[in-house]
């Protein structure tokens, strides 16, 4: 079992602005890996470089052993992706959306139907397969996107903020499904989130990114232990000196930092 993703000294500049600033990390095969950070930290930019959408300014990347700049095709066959913004066709049924994806990836028709059934059953949508996607709730759409991303049997699943805007119960369900999928299909999962408690629950390992730099990489338990924090949210504050959700800034920020300092947490 090797590393599915290797990143060394990766940089992305947009003009004079450095969005990703010399980051390095590795993701072991079969693991669920969380990439945590606030809005604007550089998470989506990193995913875009890993998935051939954006060329790096400099640095080294291997995805399933391939270079996203020079071996685009091999890299693209290696992963499925759920984008931050929804990308389903609302005017098609759920099954049609999944089937179309399989056709685009050249999966034979009979095989497409078999896999679609397995995956839609796994995410609890098989009974609703003939409904138009525009009749789906936000949570159902997310589950459908996850199933669709796996139809061509990728070894890696990228999820960019897969639960953003969903209610806590639906978020729990989605993570349950992803956990099952990763175990049953032995898929390596790379996800981004700014919900710390989710990462705490599902990530085997995580990297914390802030202002384009990785400030820590470890298991959630180790990150909490290192910072003497009860929750990953507190660990994040101890590591970065500020809270993850901007709207909680100021008062909550200061209270948490004081609490971390009081407990002797490092900053
Ligand atoms: N195409 C772009 N041109 C210029 N700046 C960008 C572009 N895309 C993202 N940025 C900036 O880069 C930073 C990182 O963005 P992003 O990777 O989307 O962060 P995240 O996904 O963590 O919220 C932000 O400050 C953002 O405004
Ligand atoms: Mg983003």
- The residue written with tokens 């034979």 in the block is 108
Q: Which residues contact 176 (CB under 8 A, 6 or more apart)?
A: none
CATH of the domain at 92: 3.40.50.300
Q: What is the model's pLDDT at position 243? A: 78
Decide if 97 is inside a domain.
yes
User: Which residue has a Cα nearest atom 3 of ligand 1?
Assistant: 14
Q: What are the CA-CA distances from residue 55 to residues 13, 105, 255, 261 (Å)? A: 10, 23, 41, 41
Decide if 203 is inside a domain.
no
Q: Which residues contact 35 (CB under 8 A, 6 or more apart)?
A: 43, 46, 47, 190, 191, 192, 193, 206, 207, 209
Q: What is the model's pLDDT at position 84? A: 85
Q: What is the domain count for the chain?
A: 1
User: Which residue has a Cα nearest atom 8 of ligand 1?
Assistant: 45
Decide if 201 is inside a domain.
no
CA 126, CA 167: separation in Å to the nearest integer? 22
Q: What is the model's pLDDT at position 260? A: 58
Q: How far is the CA of 158 from the centre of ligand 1 (A)?
A: 18
Decide if 224 is inside a domain.
no
Q: What is the model's pLDDT at position 265? A: 47
Q: What is the model's pLDDT at position 246? A: 55
Measured N-to-C along each axis, helices 232-240 and 251-262 cross at an angle, to the nearest 10 degrees, of 90
Q: For residue 161, which atom of ligand 1 is closest to its CA?
A: 21
Q: What is the model's pLDDT at position 166? A: 81
Q: How far is the CA of 45 from the centre of ligand 2 (A)?
A: 7
Decide if 208 is inside a domain.
no
User: Which residue has a Cα nearest atom 18 of ligand 1?
Assistant: 44
Pseudo-torsion of CA 82, 9, 194, 181, nearest 10°?
Answer: 40
Residues in the chain with pLDDT < 50? 247-249, 265-267
Q: Which domain holds residue 92?
A: 3-27+47-175+184-190
CA 123, CA 84: separation in Å to the nearest integer? 19
Q: What is the model's pLDDT at position 68? A: 97
Q: Closest Cα partner for 152 from 191, 97, 114, 115? A: 115
Decide if 207 is inside a domain.
no
Q: Closest Cα partner for 216 from 200, 247, 240? A: 240
Decide if 35 is inside a domain.
no
Decide if 166 is inside a domain.
yes
> Ligand 1 site: residues with CB under 6 angstroms?
14, 17, 19, 37, 39-45
Q: How far is the CA of 261 from the centre of ligand 1 (A)?
A: 31
């Amino acid at each position: 079992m090797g590393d599915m993703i290797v990143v060394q000294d990766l940089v992305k500049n947009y003009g004079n602005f450095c969005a990703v600033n010399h980051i390095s990390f590795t993701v072991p095969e079969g693991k669920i890996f969380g990439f945590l950070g606030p809005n604007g930290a550089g998470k989506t930019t990193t995913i875009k470089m890993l998935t051939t959408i954006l060329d790096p300014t400099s640095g080294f990347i291997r995805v399933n052993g391939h270079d996203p700049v020079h071996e685009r095709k091999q890299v693209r066959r290696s992963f499925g992706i759920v984008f931050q913004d929804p990308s389903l066709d609302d005017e098609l049924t759920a099954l049609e959306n999944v089937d179309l994806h399989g056709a685009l990836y050249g999966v034979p028709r009979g095989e497409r139907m078999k896999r679609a059934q397995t995956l839609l059953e796994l995410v609890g949508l098989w009974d609703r397969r003939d409904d138009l996607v525009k009749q789906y709730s936000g949570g159902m759409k997310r589950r459908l996107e996850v199933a669709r991303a796996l139809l061509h049997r990728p070894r890696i699943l990228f999820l960019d903020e897969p639960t953003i805007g969903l209610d806590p119960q639906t978020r729990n369900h989605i993570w349950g499904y992803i956990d099952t999928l990763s175990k049953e299909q032995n898929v390596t999962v790379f996800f981004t989130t700014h919900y710390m408690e989710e990462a705490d629950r599902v990530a085997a390992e995580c990297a914390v990114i802030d202002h384009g730099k990785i400030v820590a990489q470890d298991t959630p338990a180790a990150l909490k232990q290192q910072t003497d924090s009860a929750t990953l949210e507190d660990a994040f504050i101890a590591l970065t000196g500020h809270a993850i959700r901007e709207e909680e800034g100021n008062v909550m920020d200061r209270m948490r930092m004081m609490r971390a300092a009081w407990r002797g947490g490092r900053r």
